[in-house]
A = this chain, B = another copy of it.
């Protein structure tokens, strides 16, 4: 996969990629010669371009058009990006301001982060909230709603709340509910939510408990409450992909929007991006989300006070302004980590 290229070829490739990113149109040799400070004639550039095409870094849509970078070229471009443009002070300020102002609930912060990523990059912002199940259990509470329903409220130490309406076969008096929650709060003290779930399942098999009607009922109900209701994902700025000329035909666009609507599936795919540290870049067919559609994905993890991890990033066309988006995602991930660690 490593490509050997002379310094000049590399410069020219870089110029082509950047030009194409800027214009979205096939780049001709003369355009490169003109734009590129290094004075070279278009003929020379042509020779180099022919070479680059042989190597699979460029293609031409037809004979008499300019060249278009292939995925491989973007990959090469990104990997050899020496001068990652520093994120501008202006942008930094905006990110800080918008992420800070958005209230103190985790969901609000993350949603606003996603919005901010989208509006600064002009692509689609995504944020996957840290998994609730890795959070540490804080408290469970039961509230009687009508005669056959109990609302179970589950709170984690980081202030996340999950609630679930549970149907019960018969009416449970408030007193019992209180005792049940006391019992469970004791039982799950200090565990993560997923550990708590295991503890419940284990406890259910405990003989002593099986004969205590109240306890076994408590376990049954809490088991439902603890079963995760799916994680949250914030996709913001979808409409911006309509601004990209490459998605102007309806077919490709529909693919993308369909993918965005299936948030559950998207979550699964995005979980793959959570393994590595630092900024991850997926170009074109490498992208787990909607392979067919010529999109790229730039993500980075962030961490919370509990060391649970979330994911944030940007989805855009393959022809994306990598040099500005990459540092932006990087910076935002660091900032959010910092924000969420302040307790």
Residues of A bordering B, CB below 8 Å: 103-106, 138-139, 141, 143, 145-147, 149, 151, 153, 155, 157-159, 161, 163-167, 236-239, 242-243, 248, 250, 253-254, 257-258, 260-261, 343
Contacts and interface: CB of A to CB of B under 8 A. Distances in A.
Contact of A243 (B105, B157, B165, B254): B254
B159 A161 contact: no
A143 B155 contact: yes
Contacts of A157: 145
A250 B242 contact: yes
Given A104-B166, A138-B143, A238 B254 contact: no
A165 B238 contact: no
Nearest to A242: B254
B250 A238 contact: no
A260 B235 CA distance: 13
Given A143-B139, A238-B261, A239-B258, A161 B163 contact: yes
Number of copies: 2
B158 A145 contact: yes
A149 B105 CA distance: 11
B237 A104 contact: no
A159 B149 contact: yes
A105 B153 CA distance: 12
Contacts of A243: 254
B161 A151 contact: yes
A88 to B, nearest CB: 26
Given A165-B104, A254-B242, A257-B238, A151 B159 contact: yes
A295 to B, nearest CB: 15
Given A138-B145, A239-B254, 13 more contacts: A103-B165, A104-B167, A105-B163, A105-B164, A105-B165, A141-B153, A143-B155, A151-B161, A239-B261, A242-B253, A242-B254, A242-B257, A243-B254
Contacts of A237: 261
B146 A343 contact: yes
Contacts of A242: 250, 253-254, 257
